[in-house]
Structures are given as structure tokens and as C-alpha cells.
Structure 1
Amino acid sequence: MLIPKMMIYRRKVSQVMIAVLIVCIVIYVLLPVYLLKKMNNFEMYKLTEERSFYHLYPLLKNNTSISMMSCKEKTNFVFIKCMKCATETLGTVFRRFGYVRNLTFVTPVGKKLYLGWPFQMTKSDYRPSKRPFNIIMEHSIYNKTVMEALMPADTLYITIIREPYSHFKSVFTYFNLKNIAKVSSNDPFTEYLHHIGKYEQIYQRHEASSTRYCIPDNFSMTKNLLSHCIGMSLGFPAGTQNITSDADAVERYIQQIDKDFSLVMIVEYFHESLILFKRIMCWTFKDIIYWNANVANYVKKFDPHSDENVKIYQKWSSVDYKLYDHFNKTLWKRIHAQTPDFFSEVQYFTTVQENVVKFCLKPDLKKLVFNKTVWHEQFEFSTEGCKMLKQKLLEAIQKRHDEQDHNSVPPTRKPGDRYVPLC
């Protein structure tokens, strides 16, 4: 039986369509690889008084980025700043962003550094403003009710956390727990963890308050500190609810944070987190370039990291491990949902960041110029930009706030208020 000509025609059309589909899939998969290879071969050209970077993207150089749709820069956000999680490094980024745009920050009163931390923020902890607030980013405890009342309806909530054992070591070193808790050992991490009840009591008692910078009595800097910062009820201050041993309640709170926050960044994947943040906020590369701040050097001094120490700490700070495990997974789910050029963008940003740092450490030219790529318009970095990069800016922001609001005064605390931040 002869096959009708129409059926033969349809079969050929189907075969062509399948071939086209296969080609499209191959391009979709291989394009990021192509871009990555080009990324590793960009050329640098010295001009008379500037250095310019020309990146070789013959197909995409002048087109819209395949990773970014047109979107409006977001300026209203809350950043929950937990101790020793690269938060001061990010803090300099966020202050710079808001300062150059004359945005309004929720700033601590007087010369204080914290917005109530480690207690809940109250109206007595921040400068009032006649303008709507745009940014909360100094040390505070997340409180949805309080912060939603202060901030615009379109505010995004962001934070960053860290692998708990690494976080413990950084906190232990930066806050001088070894000397304050009187740990006499060449291996203070191991000694502290093996007698943690004893040393926690010494560190938290009132007699040690004169040497504990900004830390109130009876507050643990080693137990579930990350979870405390994002507002989980863990029994501090004394008399408040403690859900530490209630696994279901802990899980419910973590799920709620997952809903409330637009992004929980991870220190161990800092650049991946930054690029994800940039995409969510519709910021630029220049906005997120950073200068490392308050970086400890404990690794070179002592770093046993024994399996036994980690197991002890996992039991001691179990809620923080649950928190970290959850948001480490969600971060990677978010990353895998990004456009195919995500990792190429991360690698490119790393190159930009390294070159800016080198330039700022030893500026042999007046400025550094980054020509337009698929991820950003042309921008430049000058020696003045380097100065701004290194400034913490909190005092400058507070001074500007006072000038604009004519030294408006927050409400005074009630006599006998026990929850007064020390810094």
C-alpha cells in the first residue's frame, strides 16, 4: 500500500522540528560554557591614565544580559546583621548604597552601635525620622511586627548565616572568650567545649561584665546565636519563651522565616549569595563591590576542628544547625533556578572584585574602567571610590540624619528598664 504524499510531508516536517528542538537544547546547555571560556580570556588594556577591561563576548556584548530582565532598583530593605557572619563587610556595602542615594536609615541613638541587640528593638533604640525609613541594617533582632510597622510595604528582608562550628570559632576569638572565661589551655576550643557548662557560667556572670564588650549578663555567645538574631524564642531574656527543645516549633519558625525573607545568604558561598542578592534587588556590580571588614585571623593560631569537637557543638547549638541546613539547601534551590549564566556571572564578579581590591591597595592609575558586558553597563572605580569602599559610614549617616531631622529625640526609657542595650 502506498503511503500518501501528505503523510510523507508531515513526517519530514516533524523530523525537521525535532532537529531544530535538539539544536535549541544544545545551545541552551553549551552557551554558559562558551561564555565561561571567554570569561577566562579577557584582555586588559592600559590607557594613558586609566585601565580598561574589554571582555570578549562577540554575540552578546551589546545585547541585554541573558540573566537579567529590566527591573527597578529596590531601595527598601531590612538586613538582619548577626555577629561574625561577614555582616560588617556587607554593612559597608549597604551603608554606601544608601548614603550616596540619601536614603533614610533606622540608626541607633546617640553614639550607640546596636538597635537594641541582643534585646528586641524599641522606639527608644533608634532616631525618629520625619521621612519614611528605607533601610534597617545595624545589629537588631528580627521582629516582624515591629519592623513592618516601621518600614514601607514593599520592604524586602535579607540576612546571612554561617556554618555553625566555623561561626563558633570566629565568635570565640573575636569576643575573647578564652581570656574572659579564663580558659588556660593551648587548645582553648577543645577545652571550652569539653567543659562548656563551666566556662559559659564564668563568661556570663556579672563579675565578667567589665571585660565583655557590649554583651549583657546571662547571654550566651556560643549557643544558637544565629537563631537568636533572627528572632527565635530561645529563653533570653530570662522569663521569655524557650522553644529550643520543641523540634516542631523550631521547624515552624524556620519555615516562617523562609516565607518572610527574600534571601538568606550563606557565608561559605559569599559570591554566589551576592550575585543572587544583586539579581533580587536589581542592583549593579558597582553597588556590591566590597572591602573585607573585621576579619579574624584565628585559623593561623589554632584550628583543631576535630570530629569530637564538632559533635559536641552540634548538640550544644543544635537549633543553629537546623537553621543552617535548611537555608543552605534553599540557597542552592534558588541558585539552580537561575538563568544558565549564573555561575559565569559569579566568576566574572570575582574577577572584578579582585581587580578593584588590587587597584585600591596600590592605585597606579587614576581610575579603573570596566567596559559594558552582558551583566552591567560601563562603570569605573577611582581612588575616591576606594576611600568610600573602606569607610564604615555609620557616623556620617547618623550626622546627616540629625541635620535633616534637627536632632529629633526618641522616647526615654521607663525607670528600671532591664533591657537596655550596652552598645
Structure 2
Amino acid sequence: MKFWKIFLWSWKGLHRILLIVAIVMSLFIVLFTLYNNHFSPPSSCARQSPPPVSPTVPTTCSPHWDLLFLKTHKTGSSTLLNILLRYSERHGLTFAFPSGGRHDFYYPSFFSPTFVSGYSPSSCFNVLANHMRFDAGEVERIPPRERLYFTILRFPSHLFESSFRYYGPIIPLTWSLPGPDKMATFLHQPWAFYRPGAFNAHYLRNLQFFDLGFDKDMDPSHPALPGILRSIEERFSLVMLMEYFDESLVLLKDVLCWELEDILYLPHNSREQESVAPLVPKMEELALLWNHLDYLLYRHFNHTFWAKVETFGRLRMAQELARLRWANAKLVEACVEGGRAVRGGLVREASLRPWQPVGGDGTIIGYNLKHGLEGPQRQLCQDILTPELQYMSRMGANLWRVKVWAAVRGILRW
């Protein structure tokens, strides 16, 4: 009798699991049918003819339209993506979106042109800017082959803290970490928990070096490293730094020959400040030791960054910074209700509500649009406040997989 009770209890439990799986799969099929509308991008890139003449930009300078932005993780890159989406939409540029209903180019796989929605050997895209694991040879197969490359880095200990908090719930290696401070436990004995080939392990070590297409577990004393750093410097016209975001934008504006209005911004995919716990000195030291390749990468491009600032001119940089910060302050005043960001759950309009990570407690900030805006001003404000997923959808990206995942998370309250 006891055996039958156990059997029936086990069967009922299995029945419940199967029922949940059936419901989720049914939802997946329904949403796939609703959202999987094929997106066929234009087959040719936008071209300037003749180059636009501007009173504030020298006539010898023509805006760059063919771009690759390597969107690194947890570096302020979502803010830059908003800038690129706005610029592309305003100028009619062809934006390469990921295929398969994804928001990234099948990351963490190495990039392939087949990951681009609508790709064919004869197609052409002005801008590539979604998350990818960089592969120079594969990127160069996307016409036009002459494009300007840029990316952004962040100080490695700060990036590690952000990545660990943001991605931790989807990294199985972290699930068994004991103690109230999982990150501290990990950093004190990383090799007790870390497995190089484990699922999502790339988020735990030298993430920027990995995004650039290199081995995150390479020995930092490897003789190939100086050549790797030189190859990145030669390929990328600008490597920005998150810690000097405004200075980076001023340099980017100069490199791309853009206008001040093109680089105005509000931070996207950022945590509210109260949820950020600064690393104590010991944890910072351990994080830098564990992410030493990223540290060497950052140190190299910190040097090249300030060399570019010197070439640009310190006085000129100060003047440009003042203009940018004044314009951004006026933007917040004109567009944002209350003049400040709010928790994502407090954003009223779904079209402006930011994506929240699994287990993130809703700490990613968003913005409420100021009441009473009309016409072009409302459109400008809406564009600057719109998170990347909604903006991509608006421009034609088919994000059915993201929408299915969002629906499943809503059902599971995850």
C-alpha cells in the first residue's frame, strides 16, 4: 500500500511537470506564430551624395555611415546602441539585426554573416552593433568591407562585479557557491568553482578579452599578447572607456564627423545606484588578478585613449565636454518626468520599460516621458528614452524569441 502511495505521488508530480512543459511549449508555438514575421532588409546600403554641408562641421569632413560597433557587455554599450539606432533611423541607414528572433548575433558563438537577418552575399548593411563574439574575417564578409570599427571597455574589477551580479542567476557555476556573498567566495578560491568550458562561464573571467574574440583563459604572460593588443589597436579606430564616457563621446563625434545632437544620450540598461555595492580593496585586488587579461587590455587602451585626448587638445576637449553636458542637462529637463530615472517597474509606458535580468529585483532604471510633449520634441524625447529591444523592434528587428522568453518569465514570475 505504501508503495502505491509513493508511486501515485511520484506520478502526480511527473504529471504536473509534464503539464507545465506542455503549457510552455504551447505558448512557445503560439507566440512563434504571432511574432515570427520575416524581416527583409534593403539589399543596398545608404549612401551620401553629395556629402551634407554643415555650419558646425568642417567641409573637409564627411560623416561616417559604415560602422561596426563591438558591443561589449556591461560597459555602457546599450547607451551607445541607442545613439546608433537613432542616428541610423534618422539618416535611413541599413542596420544589421540578428536572425533567429535573437537580440544578439548568437553570442557567445563567433560571429558569422549567417547570423544577420536577411543576409546574402549581395546584401549590404551600414551598421553592425549588436552583441557578438568578434571574428574579423567573418565581419569583413559583410559589405561594405571598408567600415570604421570602434568599441568600449570598462575597468575590469568594476565590470566583473557588474557581470557577476547581472548574469549570476544564469551561470550554473555560481549556484552552489556558499555563503551570503557569493562573489567574495568565488574570488577567494575561483579555481574551486570555475570550469573554463562550462555553460556561460565566459561571463566570469576576462569578458572583454573574450568579446574581442580571444581566449579568456590564456596565460597573461603569453608572448602572443603584445601582438594581439597591437592588432586590436590597428583595427579599431577608437576604443572608448566607460569611466570617461563623455570624453569618449567627444572623441567619437570627432572620428565619425557627427554633430553634437547625434551624441546626446541618457544612460540605458544601468542599475540604480543604491543597488551597486563598491568592491572593498581586497576584493578589487582579487578581481583584477582573476581578470588579468582584461586588466592588461584596459591598461593598453587607457594609454591610447589619453594619447588621443592630447592630440585632440585638452582645451578643446574641455569646451566640447561643457557643450555636451549642458545639452544633456537640457535634454533631461525637457524629456524626463521629475528630471530623474526611476526603477524599471515604475515606468508607465511598456514601450519605455527596460528589460530586467533574471533575479535582478527590478533594479535596472528607466524613464517616464514628460507630460505635454507634442510633435518633433515628443518624438525626439521618446527616441532617446526608448530601450534597445523596443527600438530594435520598431526598426524592423524580429525579436520573437525574446518575446517568448519574456512571456514565459511573466508566467513563472521569474
Question: 1:74 — aligned with what?
Answer: 64
Contact in 2 for aligned 1:74/1:282 (Cα 8 Å):
yes
Which one has a bigger Cα radius of gyration?
A: 1
Corresponding residue to 1:223 among 205, 219, 242: 205
Per the TM alignment, residue 312 of structure 1 is displaced from its structure 2 partner at its CA by 1.6
Aligned positions, number: 306
Question: 2:274 — aligned with what?
Answer: 300
Corresponding residue to 2:133 among 118, 138, 141: 141
Q: Percent same amino acid among aligned pairs?
A: 24
Structure 1 unaligned blocks of 5 or more: 1-62, 206-216, 236-242, 368-379, 402-423
Do residues 389 (structure 1) and 387 (structure 2) align?
no
Q: Which has the higher contact order (CA 8 A, sep 6+)?
A: 1
Corresponding residue to 1:96 among 86, 91, 94: 86
Distance in 2, Cα, partners of 1:276 & 1:311: 31
Contact in 1 for aligned 2:194/2:201 (Cα 8 Å):
no
1:1-150 to structure 2, matched below 5 A, reads 70-127=60-117, 128=119, 131-150=123-142
Q: 1:304 to 1:199 in 2, by over 3 A?
A: farther
Distance in 2, Cα, partners of 1:68 & 1:313: 45
Question: 1:154 — aligned with what?
Answer: 146
Question: 2:185 — aligned with what?
Answer: 191
Corresponding residue to 2:303 among 329, 334, 348: 329
One-letter amino acid of the structure 2 residue matched with residue 320 of structure 1? D
Per the TM alignment, residue 106 of structure 1 is displaced from its structure 2 partner at its CA by 1.9
Contact in 1 for aligned 2:113/2:139 (Cα 8 Å):
no
Give the structure-1-normalised TM-score.
Answer: 0.66
Per the TM alignment, residue 69 of structure 1 is displaced from its structure 2 partner at its CA by 6.2
Q: 1:323 to 1:396 in 2, by over 3 A?
A: same
Distance in 2, Cα, partners of 1:284 & 1:256: 30
Distance in 1, Cα, partners of 2:165 & 2:179: 14
Distance in 1, Cα, partners of 2:200 & 2:133: 17
Distance in 2, Cα, partners of 1:140 & 1:357: 31
Per the TM alignment, residue 184 of structure 1 is displaced from its structure 2 partner at its CA by 4.5
Distance in 1, Cα, partners of 2:103 & 2:326: 33
Contact in 2 for aligned 1:174/1:296 (Cα 8 Å):
no
1:396-421 deviation line (CA, Å, top 9, x unaligned): 233599xxxxxxxxxxxxxxxxxxxx
Structure 2 unaligned blocks of 5 or more: 1-53, 338-369, 400-414
Contact in 2 for aligned 1:172/1:178 (Cα 8 Å):
no
Secondary structure class of the residue paired with 1:264 = strand
One-letter amino acid of the structure 2 residue matched with residue 94 of structure 1? L
Per the TM alignment, residue 199 of structure 1 is displaced from its structure 2 partner at its CA by 3.7
Higher fraction of helix? 2
Secondary structure class of the residue paired with 1:221 = helix
Q: 1:68 to 1:313 in 2, by over 3 A?
A: farther
Question: 1:282 — aligned with what?
Answer: 257
Contact in 1 for aligned 2:220/2:292 (Cα 8 Å):
no
Distance in 1, Cα, partners of 2:93 & 2:59: 25
Do residues 314 (structure 1) and 296 (structure 2) align?
no
Contact in 2 for aligned 1:187/1:302 (Cα 8 Å):
no
Distance in 2, Cα, partners of 1:151 & 1:260: 17
Provide the alpha-carbon RMSD of the alignment. 2.8
Contact in 2 for aligned 1:200/1:220 (Cα 8 Å):
no
Give the structure-2-normalised TM-score.
Answer: 0.67
Distance in 2, Cα, partners of 1:115 & 1:399: 12
